[in-house]
A and B are shown apart, each in its own frame.
Chain A
Amino acid sequence: MQTVKMVISGAVNAGKTEFIRSISEIEVVSTERRASDDTKLIKKETTVAMDFGRIAVADDLVLHLFGTPGQKRFDFMWEILSEGMLGLVVLVDSTRPETFRETNRIIEFFTSYRDTAYVIAANKQDRPNAWSPDELRLALRQPPHVKVLPCVASERESVKNILLELLYVIMQRSED
């Protein structure tokens, strides 16, 4: 049995849990607490919270989706999670420009020392005042070759589309 993994990252509340829940075949294992609880519990909580989803491709192949824990104090987990990953989806809450800097730090973390295949999902496009993918590309200073895609994480078709677009990027760099 071969397993491959993709990492779903993004700032707190970007929609990682929602994204994985929309596509996973198993009930998403999420140990993450809501951000509001979090501030209360920040001192007590010692366990690492993360999302995990799974898609069986065939009897011998499984795709795992890992959501990164959003909180800064779990940065060390990112390194572990990103080892051997097939690709990365960076989710952005398109309605919250105050999270764009954090998003840039996340992209920087995953891409600065390795050539990670990634796409950016401009999430919550169904909400009024969502910044469009084009606007997000400029706000995040992403070069033209990086895909910045519209996304509604609660809709399975939308999530499928993001994963497919990422897979096309991965396909281009894979070998025969």
Chain B
Amino acid sequence: MALVGNIRDFGLSDFLYLVDRGYKTGCLHLSRGDEQAILFFEKGKLIYAARREGEQLGEMLIRQGKLTPEQLEQARQVQNGNTNGMTLTQIILSENMMSQEDLQQTLQTHTEESVYGLFGWPDGEFRFEQGQKPDLNEPVMPIPLPVENLIMEGVRRIDEWGRIKDRIPSTDMIVRFLDQPGAKAKGVKLSPEEWRVFARINGKDTLADIAQKTNLSEFDVCRIVYGFVTAGLVDVVKKPRPAPLTSSSRGAQPMEMPRIKKSLVSRIINRIRGM
């Protein structure tokens, strides 16, 4: 079954997070007016992206002088003829038409550029077809791309508060690391400014504090932290509400939930079970 929606409501970076954490395999189809894009993922990582539905990355390799038309033709024939499910990428590599490094670099650059442009879309329909795999006759990246870097790059392009406010409603919120960001953080490439913010995160300072300590604008700090949040590295929480100065009629801890007896709960459980 497909996941459908509009990136106006559920942003591309949110989608990438879902794909990453959900370890998803499939194809994300995006369209906006007559613009289109397709992104293939395998186990949560990006393996192929094209900006038009019928765009051929094989032809792109020819345009870039990486393969001759004859080589591509030959590789495709071998691919068509083989019965053991070898991909075009595997054939290009096994026939020594390109080095793995060169193929990766060329496809990765193209892929990243394709995806970065998509972050500029204010809206656009998306449809994620679970399990859909790219055409075996198209070159996928030999090494799948983790999406955190794409998310961070997408966030670097945000220039207005709208999106950011969704996850960071105020600069008075505290930034803290998620339980185990370690493994995720390792692969993420940060700019020097992002590192400065990253290094200041301590679970106590608010965004405003961090802006002050790093000498960055509050907007920049919020944008950077928004990226960390979206990439699943940190989260932001409200400051604990200070104890009220005057004692209210509800006592010192007005927000405590009422204490409930187990016997009461189990009576309700039994009643509902019996319905």
Contacts and interface: CB of A to CB of B under 8 A. Distances in A.
Interface of A: 2, 4, 23, 55, 57-58, 61, 63, 84, 86, 96-101, 104, 112-117, 128-131, 134-135, 138-139, 141, 156, 160, 163-164, 167-168, 170-171, 173-176
A88 to B, nearest CB: 11
A171 to B, nearest CB: 5
Interface string B241-271: 1000000000000011111111011111101
Contacts of A129: 1-4
B176 to A, nearest CB: 13
A174 B265 contact: yes
Interface stretch (B5-13, B53-61, B104-112): B5-13
Contact of A4 (B17, B21, B238, B268): B268
Contacts of A86: 260, 265
13 contacts: A55-B275, A58-B271, A61-B264, A98-B8, A113-B255, A114-B256, A116-B257, A129-B4, A141-B235, A167-B269, A170-B260, A171-B266, A174-B264
Given A61-B264, A101-B166, A139-B14, A114 B257 contact: yes
B264 A97 contact: no
B199 interface: no
B18 A174 contact: no
Given A61-B264, A129-B3, A164 B9 contact: no
A75 B235 CA distance: 25
B1 A128 contact: yes
A173 B264 CA distance: 12
A136 to B, nearest CB: 10
Contacts of B258: 84
Contacts of A23: 272, 275
Interface of B: 1-6, 8-10, 14, 17-18, 21-22, 166, 235, 238, 241, 255-262, 264-269, 271-273, 275
A75 to B, nearest CB: 15
Given A160-B275, A175-B259, A57 B267 contact: yes
A116 B255 CA distance: 10
A138 B22 contact: yes
Contacts of A174: 259-262, 264-265
Given A134-B22, A141-B235, 14 more contacts: A55-B275, A61-B267, A61-B268, A84-B258, A113-B238, A116-B257, A128-B1, A129-B3, A135-B22, A138-B18, A139-B14, A160-B275, A171-B265, A176-B261
A175 B3 contact: no
B6 to A, nearest CB: 7
Given A98-B10, A100-B9, A139-B14, A57 B268 contact: yes
A167 B6 CA distance: 35
Contact of A138 (B21, B265, B273): B21
A130 B4 CA distance: 9
A63 B4 contact: no
A139 B241 CA distance: 27
Contacts of B6: 97-98
Contacts of A141: 235
A102 to B, nearest CB: 10
Nearest to A136: B18
B257 A117 contact: yes
Given A113-B241, A138-B17, A4 B264 contact: yes
Contacts of B271: 55, 57-58, 63
Nearest to A115: B257
